[in-house]
């Protein structure tokens, strides 16, 4: 059968009239096509290789399989046959989901054309074929002969694949009788050959008959060719005196190969006798150990050659235990060996396993090793848990296992402490216990000795009970070194420990809670403690250790009290006093409130000096007025700066639009993107304009912020969550912002502004174009992301997340973190940039022109535009993105915003994953505010939007949208839907993606998996990379 449920070929036979001699002009002819198979079988008819359709004098009847599994039969009815109907008739069959158990999604299998029928109706004035050409199979490199003969033909011509007539040449010879000889046959010669008989001065059409030339082939035999299927070592084990059979299925081949078997002596096996071949099956009626064991070879052969595959047949005999394992007694920690001697076949036909206390032993780890070939069990270091009953099991394939008599391992336990005594710290005056337990082959005797008191008994408050040392009211004299001694018949062991006696800290003076202080005056917070050893006292404020006690305002007195010599309003808070020694810690907390000194006169009552009260009022009024003026000035400057920045950006965008910002490539409208790697691209011009900026602004224009306050350092704002190693790594990225020049605003993100800038001598920017370095002045173009909202926790966390992500990655398709400016606000993150800019603008630029311009009005010269991406280039970009995101997922990192706007494109169509995140203005349309979060709604799956569940699987969904953007040349997803419509459809799982027209079937299937509703149904990035690598696309750029 061919495929699943169809015969190899479909054959044509004459159904009516009964004999070809009865086929004359005007007779109705019926040809039947018969196919063995199952399923919904579809049969098609062909005449001389051209499909025959219903109409006129042609009709069809019959169809699928008949009742009871009868072959499918379809009949071609030809009414009133004439010479014009002559030719070679063939049929072919196909079935969807053929084969038992095939579901509706099963593939289509076909049965190619088989035996044809040459219809020959004699007609007046038309040649009549006498010898029609027959289908021929030829060996590669051999020769093939096609015979053809006509009556009343003036001459005969041969055609091959609509070329001809064929002439005598090096590889073709046409004999005088019309036969065609093809020499040195190759794959290029396969196909239909047409023999045409032509009669001169005849109005009838020439007669034509076709024949198929096929190159013989033969597939290899493999382990799956045998039934039942063999193991990888091609070993078949059969018990002695049993029937054995092994079928060798013939491999695929044309012509169908024949199969024969060869015995171990190299002789062919006959088709009768106790050892015989039945069709393709080897049968041995009653196996014999010595005579029938050996290598049997299946030989498949046809015109193409011969293939062989050998099978080792082992006739097994039943095993027998010749010597049972012997019980043994072993010292603990010593090795032990049990041996089980047997007679039987060699390993792996016969193998030995061991059972301990009724459970099979598994050879895992290094504690013991059971050799399955010789029946030896070796325990490297015996434990008490190894004592028990052991049985060896000898198993030969085809026979029941044989069990030995049980053997016991007795373990002689060593004298040892269980567990080892350890040092002890005891509280003065408390009741305390020190345990010492030991075990051995016999119960040991345990006693204690204190160093320096040999032969003396313990004080009355110290007793020993069953090896436990008990202190009833610990005294200072109890400290020292104690030795536990255990003895039995095996010997003596001892262990020495140190006992320390301490007094847990206790507060002798507690601070007054709450306490008050007056601004500008001193305040004393009492705290005293005692203990043994003497405790040390540490102070903390608001649960943060006070490490700035070198400040002359704070003094810790000898008794532990805290003196604040000059109280400030900022000193208000909760102060903790912690007393600690080797015995433990105690802590007390007090709240301190510092009251403002306004209206308070330390030298006398308020009424004594009213002039000072007036001066205080004036001072307050002047201060408030100056503060208000300063606030108005700051607000005015902020409004002016924002207006100026917005206007400058609008002018820049207008200039970009006028000059064709999307024109990225070199000269000519039809230049391939990969060829435009020179500096004449439009984005290359953008980088050049940085060095020619008319405002000549440098890093100083953006570094005039106030110095950082405590806690505003980005790398340290979350220091409790990061290691010192992480902090040190950020120090190596430190970069002076004074070396940033010609900063140009790209847009605004959630954390702050995003710029392009020239960085002087920045490590990592070495390539002139791709990493942005100008060899002339050592300047490289970088992307600068500013953190303007240093007090916003969400912005801080996101800034830190991006820092960690781009610092950890090391992949050619992901931008690298090049530097970090932290010496003052705003903080800057410096990332790699590319010479062609972001991918979205590149895709928009590659769109074909749709607007028509008036030929009468002259147009200004336009920058060159890139040609649309080819399918191979699209697949290459998708593959680069997948490899980059696979690297991210392997590091357990999540991007969260994968889109064309956040990817960069460089010379040679090299893609880099980035994260500009211009959600406030430049790409504001592509973001949506949901639950107080700005989200790339159309790029995210359900779980990310409604459950805030971001993972590598949500990145897979976004990756699918990125590939969709590349195919559609940056089309806006669901552009006909509003954001609320998209949100509602996503929530109800009704958002369905439309596959781009030029998407291949393999990529269509992959994108469908990426957009699956359940994250578990989406592929991993490793699976995506593998799937793209297997796509049959010419990726030659």
Q: Residue 408 pLDDT > 80, yes or no?
A: yes
Residues 916 and 768 in one domain: no
CATH code where residue 788 lies? 3.30.200.20
Residue count of the chain: 1037
Q: How far is CA 523 from CA 512, 545, 566, 579, in A?
A: 12, 19, 8, 21
161-173: string of b/e by CB count within 10 Å (b at 16+)? eeeeebeeeeebb
Q: Tell me the Cα Rg of the chain.
A: 47
Cα–Cα distance, 828 to 790 (Å, whole number): 11
Q: Residue 433 pLDDT > 80, yes or no?
A: yes
Comparing 81-85, 718-722, 956-960, the range with the smallest average pLDDT is 718-722
Cα–Cα distance, 1017 to 1005 (Å, whole number): 13
Cα–Cα distance, 519 to 567 (Å, whole number): 5
Is the backbone of residue 481 left (phi > 0), alpha (psi -120 to 50) or beta?
beta
Q: Write down the catalytic residue from 36, 189, 897, 955.
A: 897
Beta carbons within 8 Å of 70's beta carbon, 6+ residues apart? none
Q: Are 786 and 751 in contact (CB under 8 A)?
A: yes
When pLDDT is averaged across residues 557-562 and rounded to a whole number, the result is 85
pLDDT recorded at residue 729: 63
Residues 787 and 890 in one domain: no
The string of DSSP letters for 288-337 reads -HHHH-EEEEEEEEETTEEEEEEEEEEEE---EEEE----EEEETTS-EE
SS3 931: coil
Residues 255 and 359 in one domain: no
Return the H-helix or E-strand segment holding 889.
helix 871-890
- Assess if residue 673 is contained within a domain: no
- Assess if residue 663 is contained within a domain: no
Q: Give yes or no for a cis peptide into 348 (omega within 30° of 0).
A: yes
Torsion angles phi and psi, residue 1003, rounded to 5: -70, -35
Residues 339 and 403 in one domain: yes
Q: Residue 905 pLDDT > 70, yes or no?
A: yes
Q: CB atoms < 10 A from the CB of 983, how many? A: 19
Q: In the numeric block, which tokens belong to residue 802?
A: 């991006």
- Assess if residue 982 is contained within a domain: yes
Residues 307 and 338 in one domain: no
pLDDT recorded at residue 247: 93
When pLDDT is averaged across residues 200-217 and rounded to a whole number, the result is 88
Number of domains in the chain: 8
Among residues 83, 115, 114, which one has the least CA distance to residue 197? 83
CATH code where residue 585 lies? 2.60.40.10
Among residues 172, 193, 191, which one has the least CA distance to residue 183? 172
Q: How far is CA 233 from CA 229, 237, 312, 420, 741, in A?
A: 11, 12, 9, 54, 70
When pLDDT is averaged across residues 404-420 and rounded to a whole number, the result is 89
pLDDT recorded at residue 364: 63
Q: Is 743 exposed, middle or buried (0-12, 13-18, 19+ CB in 10 A)?
A: buried
Cα–Cα distance, 253 to 139 (Å, whole number): 12
The pLDDT tens digits of the residues spanning 599-642 come to 444 433 333 444 455 567 778 888 898 999 999 899 999 988 88
CATH code where residue 904 lies? 1.10.510.10
Q: Residue 361 pLDDT > 80, yes or no?
A: yes
Q: Are 930 and 945 in contact (CB under 8 A)?
A: yes
The string of DSSP letters for 942-997 reads HHHHHH----HHHHHHHHHHHHHHHHTTSPPTTTTS-HHHHHHHHHTT---PPPPT
Q: In the numeric block, which tokens belong to residue 438?
A: 């030991």
Is the backbone of residue 280 left (phi > 0), alpha (psi -120 to 50) or beta?
alpha
Beta carbons within 8 Å of 668's beta carbon, 6+ residues apart? 864
Among residues 208, 206, 207, 210, which one has the least CA distance to residue 193? 210
Return the H-helix or E-strand segment holding 1008.
helix 1001-1010
What percent of the chain has pLDDT above 90? 42
Is the backbone of residue 39 left (phi > 0), alpha (psi -120 to 50) or beta?
left
The pLDDT tens digits of the residues spanning 121-143 come to 988 888 999 999 999 999 999 99
3-state secondary structure 61-110: EEECCEHHHECEEEEEEECCCCHHHCEEEEEEEEEECCCCCCCCCCCEEE
Q: Give yes or no for a cis peptide into 17 (omega within 30° of 0).
A: yes
- Assess if residue 662 is contained within a domain: no
Q: What is the dihedral of CA 1018, 1022, 1023, 1024, to 10 degrees?
A: 80
Task: Determine if the pTM surpasses 0.85.
Answer: no
Residues 933 and 1025 in one domain: yes
- Assess if residue 154 is contained within a domain: yes
Q: CB atoms < 10 A from the CB of 350, how many? A: 24
Residues 407 and 423 in one domain: no
Cα–Cα distance, 966 to 92 (Å, whole number): 42
Q: How far is CA 637 from CA 1, 634, 661, 702, 704, in A?
A: 86, 5, 32, 14, 13
Among residues 799, 827, 822, which one has the least CA distance to residue 732? 822
pLDDT recorded at residue 513: 84
Which of 54, 85, 119 terminates a domain? The answer is: 119
Cα–Cα distance, 1017 to 902 (Å, whole number): 26
When pLDDT is averaged across residues 731-758 and rounded to a whole number, the result is 89
Q: In the numeric block, which tokens belong to residue 166?
A: 């064929």
Q: CB atoms < 10 A from the CB of 1021, how many? A: 23
Q: Give yes or no for a cis peptide into 81 (omega within 30° of 0).
A: no
DSSP tag of 686: H
- Assess if residue 175 is contained within a domain: yes
Comparing 46-55, 93-102, 352-361, 518-527, the range with the smallest average pLDDT is 93-102
Q: In the numeric block, which tokens belong to residue 776?
A: 């002339």
Torsion angles phi and psi, residue 21, rounded to 5: -65, -20
Residues 104 and 134 in one domain: no
Residues 281 and 403 in one domain: no
Q: Residue 12 pLDDT > 70, yes or no?
A: yes
- Assess if residue 723 is contained within a domain: yes
pLDDT recorded at residue 726: 54
Q: 901 a known binding residue? A: yes
Comparing 161-165, 663-667, 745-749, the range with the smallest average pLDDT is 663-667
Residues 897 and 972 in one domain: yes
Residues 40 and 54 in one domain: yes
Residues 455 and 337 in one domain: no
- Identify the domain containing residue 459 by its residue range: 416-502
Comparing 237-241, 694-698, 904-908, 979-983, the range with the smallest average pLDDT is 694-698
Long-range CB contact pairs, 757-765, < 8 A, 24+: 757/690, 757/699, 757/781, 757/782, 757/784, 758/690, 758/691, 758/782, 759/735, 759/818, 759/819, 759/830, 762/735, 762/818, 762/819, 762/830, 763/818, 763/819, 764/816, 764/818, 764/832, 765/818, 765/832
Among residues 865, 925, 916, 851, which one has the least CA distance to residue 683? 865
Q: CB atoms < 10 A from the CB of 738, how many? A: 13
Q: Are 262 and 268 in contact (CB under 8 A)?
A: yes
Q: Confidence class of residue 1000 from pLDDT cuts 50, 70 and 90?
A: very high
Which of 595, 611, 634 terminates a domain? The answer is: 595
548 has catalytic annotation: no
Q: Confidence class of residue 190 from pLDDT cuts 50, 70 and 90?
A: very high
Among residues 141, 133, 136, which one has the least CA distance to residue 158? 133
Comparing 177-181, 188-192, 229-233, the range with the smallest average pLDDT is 229-233
Cα–Cα distance, 466 to 446 (Å, whole number): 7
Q: Is 63 exposed, middle or buried (0-12, 13-18, 19+ CB in 10 A)?
A: middle
SS3 386: helix
| Residue bearing the bigger pLDDT, 882 or 227 | 882
- Assess if residue 642 is contained within a domain: no
Which of 189, 215, 241 terminates a domain? The answer is: 215
Q: Is 860 exposed, middle or buried (0-12, 13-18, 19+ CB in 10 A)?
A: exposed
């Amino acid at each position: 059968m061919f495929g699943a449920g169809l015969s190899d070929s479909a054959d044509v036979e004459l159904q009516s009239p009964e004999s070809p001699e009865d086929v004359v002009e005007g007779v109705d002819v019926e040809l039947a096509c018969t196919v063995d198979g199952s399923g919904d079988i579809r049969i098609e008819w062909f005449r001389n290789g051209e499909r025959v359709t219903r109409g006129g004098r042609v009709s069809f009847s019959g169809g699928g399989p008949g009742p009871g599994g009868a072959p499918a039969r379809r009949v071609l009815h030809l009414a009133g046959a004439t010479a014009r109907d002559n030719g070679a008739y063939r049929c072919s069959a196909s079935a969807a989901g053929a084969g038992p158990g095939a579901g509706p999604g099963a593939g289509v299998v076909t049965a190619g054309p088989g035996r044809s029928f040459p219809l020959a109706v004699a007609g007046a004035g038309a040649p009549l074929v006498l010898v029609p050409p027959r289908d021929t199979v030829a060996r590669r490199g051999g020769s093939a002969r096609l015979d053809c003969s006509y009556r009343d033909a003036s001459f005969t011509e041969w055609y091959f694949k609509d070329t001809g007539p064929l002439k005598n040449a090096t590889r073709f010879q046409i004999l005088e009788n019309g036969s065609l000889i093809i020499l040195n046959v190759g794959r290029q010669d396969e196909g239909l050959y047409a023999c045409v008989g032509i009669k001169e001065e005849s109005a009838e059409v020439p007669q034509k008959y076709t024949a198929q030339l096929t190159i013989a082939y033969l597939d290899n035999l493999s382990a799956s060719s045998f039934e039942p299927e063999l193991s990888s070592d091609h070993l078949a084990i059969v018990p002695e005196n049993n029937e054995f059979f092994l079928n060798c299925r013939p491999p695929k081949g044309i012509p169908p190969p024949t199969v024969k078997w060869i015995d171990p002596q190299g002789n062919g096996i006959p088709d009768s006798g106790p050892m015989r071949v039945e069709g393709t099956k080897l049968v041995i009626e009653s196996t014999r150990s010595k005579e029938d064991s050996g290598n049997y070879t299946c030989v498949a052969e046809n015109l193409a050659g011969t293939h062989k595959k050998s099978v080792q047949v082992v006739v097994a005999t039943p095993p027998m235990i010749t010597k049972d394992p012997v019980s043994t007694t072993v010292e603990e920690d010593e090795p032990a060996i049990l041996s089980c001697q047997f007679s039987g076949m060699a390993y792996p036909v016969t193998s030995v396993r061991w059972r301990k206390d009724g459970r099979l032993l598994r050879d895992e780890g290094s504690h013991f090793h059971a050799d399955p070939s010789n029946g030896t069990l070796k325990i490297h270091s015996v434990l008490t848990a190894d004592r028990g009953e052991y049985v060896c099991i000898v198993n030969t394939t085809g026979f029941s296992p044989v069990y030995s008599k049980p053997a016991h391992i007795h373990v002689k336990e060593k004298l040892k402490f269980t567990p080892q005594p350890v040092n002890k710290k005891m509280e003065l005056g408390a009741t305390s216990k020190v345990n010492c337990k030991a075990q051995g082959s016999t119960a040991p005797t345990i006693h204690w000795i204190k160093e320096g008191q040999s032969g003396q008994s313990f004080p009355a408050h110290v007793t020993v009970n069953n090896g436990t040392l008990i202190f009833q009211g610990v005294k200072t004299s109890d400290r020292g070194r104690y030795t536990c001694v255990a003895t039995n018949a095996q010997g003596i062991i001892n262990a020495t420990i140190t006992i320390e006696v301490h007094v847990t800290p206790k507060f002798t003076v507690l601070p007054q809670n709450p306490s008050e202080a007056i601004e500008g005056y001193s305040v004393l917070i009492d705290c005293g403690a005692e203990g043994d050893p003497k405790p040390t006292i540490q102070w903390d404020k608001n649960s943060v250790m006070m490490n700035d006690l070198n400040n002359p305002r704070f003094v810790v007195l000898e008794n532990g009290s805290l003196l604040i010599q000059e109280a400030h309003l900022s000193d208000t808070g909760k102060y903790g006093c912690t007393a600690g020694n080797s015995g433990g810690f105690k802590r007390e907390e007090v709240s301190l409130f510092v009251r403002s000194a306004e209206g308070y006169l330390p030298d006398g009552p308020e009424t004594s000096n009213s002039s000072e009260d007036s001066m205080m009022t004036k001072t307050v009024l002047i201060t408030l007025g100056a503060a208000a003026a300063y606030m108005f000035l700051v607000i005015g400057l902020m409004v002016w700066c924002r207006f100026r920045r917005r206007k400058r950006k609008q002018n820049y965008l207008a200039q970009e639009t006028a000059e064709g910002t999307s024109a990225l490539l070199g000269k000519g409208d039809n230049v391939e993107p990969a060829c435009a790697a020179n500096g004449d691209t439009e984005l290359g011009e953008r980088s050049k304009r940085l060095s020619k900026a008319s405002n000549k602004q440098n890093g100083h224009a953006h570094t005039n912020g106030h110095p950082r306050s405590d806690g505003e350092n980005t790398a340290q704002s979350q220091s409790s969550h990061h290691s010192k190693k992480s902090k040190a790594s950020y120090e190596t990225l430190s970069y002076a912002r004074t070396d940033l020049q010609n900063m140009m605003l790209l847009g605004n993100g959630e954390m702050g502004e995003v710029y392009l800038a020239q960085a002087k001598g920045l490590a990592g920017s070495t390539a002139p174009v791709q990493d942005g370095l100008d060899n002339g002045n050592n300047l490289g173009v970088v992307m600068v992301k500013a953190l303007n909202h240093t007090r916003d926790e969400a912005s801080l966390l996101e800034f830190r997340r991006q820092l960690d992500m781009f610092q950890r990655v090391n992949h050619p398709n992901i931008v690298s973190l090049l530097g970090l400016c932290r010496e003052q606000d705003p903080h800057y993150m410096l990332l790699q940039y590319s010479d062609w800019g972001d991918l979205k603008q590149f895709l928009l630029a590659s769109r074909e022109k749709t607007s028509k311009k008036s030929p009468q009005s002259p147009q200004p010269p336009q920058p060159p535009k890139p040609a649309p991406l080819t399918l191979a280039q699209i697949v290459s970009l998708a593959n680069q993105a997948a490899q980059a995101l696979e690297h991210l997922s392997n590091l357990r990192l999540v991007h969260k915003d994968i889109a064309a706007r956040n990817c960069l494109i460089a010379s040679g169509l090299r893609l880099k994953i980035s994260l500009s995140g211009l959600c406030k203005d430049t790409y504001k349309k592509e973001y949506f505010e949901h639950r107080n979060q700005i989200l790339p709604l159309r790029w995210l799956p359900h779980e990310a939007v409604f459950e805030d569940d971001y993972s590598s699987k949500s990145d897979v969904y976004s990756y699918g949208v990125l590939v969709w953007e590349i195919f559609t040349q940056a089309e806006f997803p669901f552009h006909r839907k509003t954001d609320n419509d998209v949100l509602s459809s996503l929530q109800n799982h009704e958002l369905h993606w439309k596959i781009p027209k030029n998407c291949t079937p393999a990529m269509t299937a992959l994108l469908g998996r990426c957009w699956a509703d359940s994250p578990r149904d989406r592929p991993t990035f490793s699976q995506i990379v593998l799937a793209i690598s297997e796509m049959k696309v010419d990726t030659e750029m």
